[in-house]
Structure formats: structure tokens, C-alpha cells
Structure 1
Amino acid sequence: MFVTKQIESEHKDLIHDVSFDFYGKRMASCSSDQSVKVWDLGEDGEWKCTATWKTHSGSVFRVTWAHPEFGQVLATCSFDRQAAVWEESFGDVGREGVKSNWIKKSILVDSRTAVTDVKFAPKHLGLQLAICCSDGMVRIYECPDVMNISQWSLQHDIQTKFKCSCLSWNSSRMHPPMIAVGSDDNNPSGGGKCQVFEYNDSTRKWTKVETIVAVTDPVHDVAFAPNLGRSYHLLAIASKELKIISLTPLGRDSVIGNQSVVSRFEMKQVASFADHESPVWRVSWNVTGTVLSSSGDDGCVRLWKGNGVLVVIQMTKYICTIGSNVKTPGLTFSFIGCIMYTAGL
């Protein structure tokens, strides 16, 4: 059973992204009004805004939580060409309980263009942060001392040679670190709009191992499924249609001189759905990688589950009653001034 609620966010402009923490008890939203809001789920099942603050001097495109092992830490990215890391601190006890403040611990300013996505690495890789930019660069930062998240060092620069719009880490512990990067470039002759990069321990470099040529339309979001015992990887791609690609490792090439040793994959399109009948903007897997959610311009959030073939197990149609619906939804379907929240019971 699924329950849908509308949350009055009081954002003054378009909501670009909504992100839940590891436990699903906290939520962060970001907007073109340059602010981020943090929400806590109360015992009564209602979401309460516990913090709101201006984060950037431009539209905030993405917000993401670090694993709770590293504390209450957020990262944001913006049109102002910066990414920022925030840590929660607690102030005095007031009438409404302990007030929390979010302190800017670090600002990453290497990009010369808009930073379009930011994601923390899986916790087994340590406290690492990947950002992608509209100039085609992916940068990976590392915090060597998790007790001092003010210090971040740039570890890797990856040139994708296309305009980047989104990225996703592969959370598998059994395989080398892997990142998928999508592009929202409208040029139809630009080739595949999704690339997969893998880290090589021998060369200590990230290498492009695959280009998903089947995806030629602008990509708005990508998401690796959690890998629980599968011998292959699943990658969901939000584009003109919803696509799911499987990548099966074929082993490693032999070492020839000083050349890189890279993994190769057998790629297969597991599914392609046009049910939204419009661009798909966000995709997200559940913790076991068995249920996929997607949202699109049609104002619907669909949940997909595989049973031999993927089928829709739930569809929710959102109708905006405050403001007007917009064409760039967040993690679910976001409106100016309100967030739609779906919970499974």
C-alpha cells in the first residue's frame, strides 16, 4: 500500500532535487531560489522543516546525503560553478526543541562552468565526492580525515568530451569503482549520451570502458542498482524513455606494455518504456535494487518491479493545486512551492 502526501515546502522557485538520507527519515530539497531545506519525519508521520538556508548565488541543481557513518553531511552543487559540503551542528534548546544549523565546511571551486550533479561515493571507498560539470569534466575529491571535512583534495579529473548532466556511483564492493555519466546535449549527432568509467588500481586512473550507444537522446538522470549477488550491473537511464541496461563483466584484457588494463562488458538493453509519453527526469532504485521508481513530464511517478519482465506495480498521478506544474521535476515530481511524497506501507 502506498500513501501520497503533499508537503508545502515554501520554496519560492522551482524545486530541482529531493534527496533522502540513508534511513529515509530525513529529506533535503533544493531550488532555484538558491536555498536548501532539511526535513525530519516525525513520529506522527508528518514532515517538518528543521532547517533552511541560502547555499549558493545561483540555482541549486542537486543535493545529496553522505553515509551516516560520516555524520550528518550534505553536498550541493549549483549554476554558480561551485559545489559545497555542509555539516549539521546543534545550537541552543528553544521552544521547539534543539535547533540545528548547517555549517559550510568546504567549497569546491575548480569548475569553470555550472556544476550539474554531485554524489558521495559508496562508504567502502571512504569519504569521496564526485561532481560533473557542463563543460564535460568529472572531478573526484577525497577527504583524508573524516573528522575534519573542511579539507578536500582533488584526486582525479575525467574528461568525458560531452556536456555532463548527471552521474551515479556503482555501489558494488566486488567490482572496481565505477561511475556512469549522462549528458543532456541536444545534438543528435553526438553519439551515445551515457558513458561508463572504471577505476584501475594498477594505473590509478579512471578509464572509459563503455559508451552506451543505444541512448542518443538527452539524459537527465542515471542510477546504478544496488548489486546484491548479481553477476551483472543494472543501470537505469532517464531520457526520452526509461531504459534499463545490464552490463556483464567479460573479464580483463591482458597487460600489454604500459597500457591500461580495463574491464569490458557485454551490454544488453533489459527494458525500454515509453509509458510516461514524455521525457523522464528522475530514476531511483530501492535499497535492494529490485524496485525502480521513475518520474516524468506527465506528472506521474511509476514504480517498476521485475518478474521475468518489468511491469508497473504502482502509478501515482500528481495534480498541482498550488502554483503550476513545471517541466523539470525532482526525485519524485516537484512543483513550485510543494513536494509530493510517496511512502510504502
Structure 2
Amino acid sequence: MFVARSIAADHKDLIHDVSYDFHGRRMATCSSDQSIKVWDKGDSGEWNCTASWKTHSGSVWRVTWAHPEFGQVLASCSFDRTAIVWEEIVGESNDKQRGQSHWIKRTTLVDSRTSVTDVKFAPKHMGLMLTTCSADGVVRIYEAPDVMNLSQWSLQHEISSKLSCSCISWNPSSSRAHAPMIAVGSDDSNATYGGKVQIYEYNELTRKYAKAETLMTVTDAVHDIAFAPNLGRSFHVLAIATKDVRIFKLVPLRKDNSSSAPTKFEVQVLAQFDSHNSQVWRVSWNITSTILASSGDDGCVRLWKANYMDNWKCTGILKGDGSPVYGSSGQPGALSAVLGSASALSALNGATGR
């Protein structure tokens, strides 16, 4: 049984995102107070704020870590229409900042005409690449040609989704059988337009991303989207946070390798849960893709797990104050501290308000 720890985050406004680094020993938070805070986990398990700085001139929606192979690098995106890349520099701070890490702005990406709603680094095997999506309906993919110089980023691709974009997720598979793939979610308010999730696949022949699939059954606003880690599977698993939690299975159908047409998929709904009974704001997989965590406006984090029959069930619930919800057996749900704090939890429980 894990213990939930509460952190006095000291943000002056709503926290919109919480992001762990690759090892789970560092955490970044961002807020409408236009700041980012970085937290480091001490030897006794406590979280200490090691950096806090003003980043954007508007609400900061998302913050994300690059793989540590590329150094200590963060990216953030904001209502101010920009995404920014930050790098940690150790040993260059003055006496007043001793003990505090020093984060340098390496570049500001200014291509979006509207609020930049999500930012994600590509899987490590693709090199140092960064993807943004915006309310203007465009997904942009940038690349740092020299990983030693993070001030230089080139815009490699612009994908127009025709819908206001709210969230993105890279397919993490490094298999040569799978082309690079991005899932894009939309919170477009037009209820008559189906297909709020679109899948784009990179084609080696055309050197462009093309739409491979649209999940037409997702018609409500999508707040978060997450491909499950792919540990050698031939198919892909995608979790979606909308008015409920949904898990989709995407099975690639055989295709002619000489064709420039994108892969077609057989789309199956593995699970759909409305247990939050409210808007669901975040979904997150564990590293082995066996457990999915979700959080919603009911103020709870819920854990979902599949049995050997591939039937998904809720295996644990944690309230916003960190206390477990006890089941009928009197045993608490087996839930780890998925989030580091109750205040962070509030961010994942619908405090986005984009």
C-alpha cells in the first residue's frame, strides 16, 4: 500500500499539468500564474522545489521532459501562442541562488497563431524532436539538428487537422514494423462533427505525415490522449480522456510496403468507463502499459487494469485529499501516489479551463 504525500505547491493560480521525468525522481508543474516549478525527490521520499521561474506571458497549459539522454530539458506551452524549450545549467548560479538549479530559455517557438495547447517530445529513438498542437488546428513537429545546441530548432512538418487541437501523443513503439505515429485529440465545441481523435502516420516515400485513421465514435471534447508503451506488440493501445475513459485497440491491417497510402487499422473499443461521472481530464499509463490512471471532475484518481481475459476493471480509487476509497471488502484500493500532491491532483481534475 502506497502513501499519498501532499505538497504545498505554492503556485498562485490553477495548476494545469504535472510531469515526471524518465526516472520518476523529478517533477515539473505549471500554472496559470505563468510559472514552472521543478521538484526533486529526496532520499526520504520528500519532494523539494529546486527551481521556480516565470516562463510565459499567459497561462502555461503543459510542461514535459525530454529523455535524459539529451540532458535536463523541459518544454512548455502557453495561451500566449508560444512553446519554449528550457535547459538546466548546474553550477552557474550566484550565491543567492545556491542550492537552486538554473534553467535557461534556449528557444521560443512562435509559429502558432493561437493558444498552444500541448507539447510533447518524440520517442528517444527518433532523435530530439518536439511536437506542439494548437487551437488553430495545426500540429507542428520541430527537430534540433544539433543536440548540443538547443537554441536551433527547425520546423519539419505542419499537419492541419481541421479541428481545434487540445492534446497529442506519440506512439512510443520503436519497432521497424511501425512507422512514426501521432494521435491528436480535439476539444472542438462543434458537437455535430464526429471523430475528435485523428491518427497521423509518417510515410517514408512522401516524407510527410498523412491521416491514417479517425475515431468517429469519439464525438465529445477530448482533454487528454495517451498511447500505451509498446512492449513488442503488433497492435497499439490508446487511452482517451473525454466525458468518460475510453481504451482503443488499433490493429494494423496488412499493407503493400511500396504503397504511399497510410496504414489502415481495425479499431476496437477495449473499454469504456463513466465511473468518474464527470469530465475526465488526464489519462496516464505505467511503464509496462498494464495499468491506466485517470482523473476527473469527481476529484478522484482511478486505476484501471485488465485481467487475463482482457476485461478492464477499476482496481483502486484515490480522493483528492490523498485518502483511499475503500471497497466493499474493506480493503483500500491498491493505488500508488500517481500524483505528487493534492494540489497537483486538482490540476488533473479539470482545472484546465482552456
Q: 1: distance between equivalents of 2:280 and 2:234?
A: 28
In 2: Cα distance, 1:95 partner to 1:199 partner: 48
Give the drift of 1:78: 0.2
Report the secondary structure of 1:5's partner residue. coil
Residue matched to 1:248 = 251
Return the alpha-carbon distance in structure 2 between the equivalents of residues 253 and 306 of structure 1.
33
Equivalent in 305, 318, 343 of residue 316 of structure 1: 318
Whether the aligned pair in 2 keeps the contact of 1:82 and 1:111 (CA below 8 Å) is yes
1:277 aligned onto 2:282:
no
Matched, 1:234 2:237: yes
Partners of 2:26 and 2:340 in 1: CA distance: 18
Q: Structure 1 residues 254, 123: CA separation in 2 closer, same or farther (over 3 Å shift)?
A: closer
Separation in 2 of the partners of 1:103 and 1:81?
A: 20
Separation in 2, partners of 1:230, 1:38 = 34
Q: 1:154 to 1:306 in 2, by over 3 A?
A: same
Is there any run of 5+ residues in structure 1 with no aligned partner, and where? Answer: 321-330
Q: CA deviation at 1:98?
A: 3.6
Q: Distance in 2 between matches of 1:102 and 1:255?
A: 46
Q: Which residue of 2 aligns with 1:291?
A: 291
Mapped pair 1:173 → 2:178: no
Say if 2:105 is the partner of 1:100: no
Normalised TM-score (structure 2): 0.89
Q: Check the 8 A contact 1:305/1:312 in 2, yes or no.
A: yes
Q: Paired residue for 1:324?
A: none
Cα–Cα, structure 1 residues 95 and 83, in superposed 2: closer, same or farther, change >3 Å?
Answer: closer
What pairs with 1:50-199 in structure 2 (closer than 5 Å)? 50-90=50-90, 91-92=92-93, 98-174=99-175, 175-199=178-202
Letter in 2 for 1:233: H
Deviations 1:242-265 (A, max 9, x none): 000000010224757xxx321111
Structure 2 contact 6–340 (Cα < 8 Å) conserved: no
Q: Give every structure 1 segment of 4 or more consecutive aligned residues whose post-TM-superposition deviation is greater than 4 Å.
A: 92-97, 253-256, 331-335
Work out whether residues 299 and 333 of structure 1, in 8 Å CA contact, stay in contact via their aligned partners in 2.
no
Q: Tell me if structure 1 keeps the 8 A contact 2:50–2:101.
A: yes
Cα deviation, 1:250-295, whole Å, max 9, x if unaligned, reads 0224757xxx321111000000000100010000001111111000
Query: In 2, are the aligned partners of 1:7 and 1:340 still within 8 Å (CA)?
Result: no
Q: Deviations over 1:214-260 (max 9, x none)?
A: 1101000000000112121000000011000000010224757xxx3
**Percent of matched pairs sharing the same residue:** 62
Is the 1:295–1:333 contact (alpha carbons within 8 Å) kept by the matching residues of 2? no
Distance 2:142 2:57 in 1: 22
Unaligned runs of at least 5 residues, structure 2? 323-337, 347-354
**Could you tell me which residue of structure 1 aligns to residue 204 of structure 2?**
201
Instruction: Name the SS for the 1:43 alignment partner.
Output: coil
Q: Which amino acid aligns with 2:148?
A: M
**Which residue type is aligned with residue 316 of structure 1?**
L
Paired residue type of 2:313:
V
What amino acid maps onto 1:108 in structure 2?
Answer: L
C-alpha distance in 1 between matches for 2:3 and 2:228: 24
What's the C-alpha RMSD, in Å, of the aligned pairs?
2.0
Q: Which residue identity does 1:136 align to in structure 2?
A: G
Structure that is richer in strand per residue: 1
How many equivalent pairs are there? 327
Q: What's the CA shift for 1:332? A: 4.8
Which residue pairs with 1:323 in the alignment? none
Q: Distance in 2 between matches of 1:143 and 1:87?
A: 13
Q: Distance in 2 between matches of 1:318 and 1:262?
A: 43
- Counterparts in 2 of 1:254 and 1:248: CA distance versus 1, 3 Å: same
